[in-house]
Amino acid sequence: MPHDEAPAQAVAEFIDALDSDPSLAGRISYCCMKSRDGSDYLHLAAAADDQAIKALQQSAFFSQYTEKTRHAAGGAVDVLPLEVIAETRRKP
């Protein structure tokens, strides 16, 4: 697998795990975007409640994904708490 495909594969596997986990399905919204002209990734996540966040943080797949993300980022990941104000009904 080419180096550029590894992060995309990790994201796809993480999203599949989120959607497949009965305790998290529909409670965590996650989106990952990549800069068209560079190698920067932006990960956006929203949780239905604090219990969903705790459940996610306790899952094995979250720990594995977090480690892959740190490795891909060269060891440093900036995390900013954000609040969704408004969004479209349908995603492209």
> Hey, how many other C-beta atoms are within 10 angstroms of the C-beta on 57?
10
Beta strand residue intervals within 1-92, DSSP E: 28-34, 41-47
The pLDDT tens digits for 9-58 are 999 999 999 999 999 989 999 999 998 998 888 999 989 999 999 999 99
Residue with tokens 């965590």: 28
Q: What pLDDT is attached to residue 80?
A: 87
Whether the Cβ atoms of residue 31 and residue 19 lie closer than 8 Å to each other: no
For residue 81, name the pLDDT band (cuts at 50, 70, 90). confident
d(CA 92, CA 75): 31
Q: Report the pLDDT averaged over residues 61-75.
A: 91
Main-chain phi, psi angles of 49, to 5 degrees: -165, 175
